[in-house]
Amino acid sequence: MILKPDSPLVHALHPSPNTEDRRKGCRPDMIVLHYTGMPSAPKAIGWLADPRSKVSCHYVIDEDGHITQMVAERARAWHAGVSHWAGESDINSASIGIEIQNPGHEHGYPKFPDEQMQAIAALCRDIAARRGVPPERILAHSDVAPGRKIDPGEKFDWGWLAEQGVGHWVRPAPLTTDACTLDQNAAAIDEAMALLSDYGFGVENGERDDWFAVLVRSFQLHFRPARADGRLDAGTLDTLRRLVAALPARATC
């Protein structure tokens, strides 16, 4: 049960029973951003607080920037589901989940209002500063669950968020009218898969024939959203190369 907010930015508390201790003493060093996919924040909050739903999150951000905390940051919320990032498969134990009110792709998918984006930026900065979350570990639900989730989607402005000091970003390569893709180029596919893995995407999946396209689209939804079609074009590969190259140096043994 949450008794007090973890962040001074919180406007209200609405405790969810759908929580437990983080496993193996894990401390959160990731932030995962979602959209609610529901018609309103009150309905989303009600569902996230319903024991029958088996889902929850740490924070919900309404369209007007109103922030509700539902689970204490020290606890494990049930927001990510089956997911993977950089060798970690228990994303719920490793992360803080933020649900952003938006009805989603199935219900018109409106843009994210400025007031809401400002609140997202402020809350992410606050959590990252307190928890030591690196920019490259502020992620989309679609990053950690490719093919299963597509939120917060192509209308979410990750580029603007990076300008506010949140997340890892490089300017996407410009779109071209050239219809040629690299989807049949074995060397390009191998390079893209290696780069996606280097960045953190879980690339292993023997159950889907379209898995490469799924991974490419998930990458595009976050990092090249102007055309998220799952096709490996030169601009997508260039953006991926520069994104990985821009990662901070990682410690080695």
CATH of the domain at 134: 3.40.80.10
> Total domain count for the chain?
2
Residues of the chain with pLDDT > 90: what percent? Answer: 89
Domain of 224: which CATH number?
Answer: 1.10.101.10
Residue 146 pLDDT > 50: yes
Has residue 168 been placed in a domain? no
Q: What pLDDT was estimated at residue 253?
A: 37
pLDDT tens by residue, 179-236: 567 888 899 999 999 999 999 999 988 678 899 999 999 999 999 999 999 999 999 9
Statement: residue 237 has pLDDT above 50? yes
Rounded to two decimals, the pTM is 0.96
Confidence of residue 178 (pLDDT cuts 50, 70, 90): low
**Of 62-66, 91-95, 185-189, the least confident:** 185-189
pLDDT band for 57, please (50, 70, 90 cuts).
Answer: very high
Beta bridge partners of 100: 35, 61
Question: pLDDT tens for residues 12-37?
Answer: 999 999 999 999 888 999 999 999 99
Q: What is the rounded distance in angstroms from the CA atom of residue 104 to the CA atom of residue 101?
A: 9
- Give per-residue pLDDT as tens, 66-84: 999 999 999 999 999 999 9
Of residues 7 and 208, more confidence is placed in: 7
Residue with tokens 């994104």: 243
Q: How confident is the model at residue 252 (pLDDT cuts 50, 70, 90)?
A: very low
Whether residue 145 is found in the same domain as residue 209: no
Query: Do 132 and 241 share a domain, yes or no?
Result: no
- 253 lies in a domain? no
Task: Report the DSSP pairing between strands 12-13 and 75-77.
Answer: unpaired
In a domain? residue 153: yes
pLDDT at 241 over 60: yes
